[in-house]
Amino acid sequence: MRGQTTIAEAARLHDLTPSEIEKWVDEAETGMENALRTNPRDVSEQYEKKLEELHSAYGEAMLQVKALKKLHRHLGLDED
């Protein structure tokens, strides 16, 4: 990437194929482009939103469990 060695030289030096190195370079460039496009604030906001959604889903699931337990007790279906 810095032009200090060619892909062919690096492949020979590390016993790799040139296509392996080219693939890694392409993946690295794509990753860097995506990192530059992503605003850290956006990532943080997405994380917080997802966390809030998960907390809400957990709360709903717990209410359902409590309701089912109460229904089982009411119907005499306890497993005690």
Instruction: Assess if residue 50 is contained within a domain.
Output: yes
Instruction: Assess if residue 71 is contained within a domain.
Output: yes
**Enclosing domain of residue 38:** 7-75
Q: What is the pLDDT of residue 20?
A: 92
User: Containing H/E element for 61?
Assistant: helix 40-75
Instruction: Assess if residue 66 is contained within a domain.
Output: yes
- Band (pLDDT 50/70/90 cuts) for residue 43 is confident
Instruction: Assess if residue 1 is contained within a domain.
Output: no
Instruction: Assess if residue 2 is contained within a domain.
Output: no
CA distance 12 to 75: 74
Instruction: Assess if residue 64 is contained within a domain.
Output: yes
- The number of distinct structural domains making up the chain is 1
Instruction: Assess if residue 63 is contained within a domain.
Output: yes
Three-state DSSP class for residue 39:
coil
Asked whether the predicted pLDDT for residue 80 surpasses 70, the reply is no
- Band (pLDDT 50/70/90 cuts) for residue 69 is very high
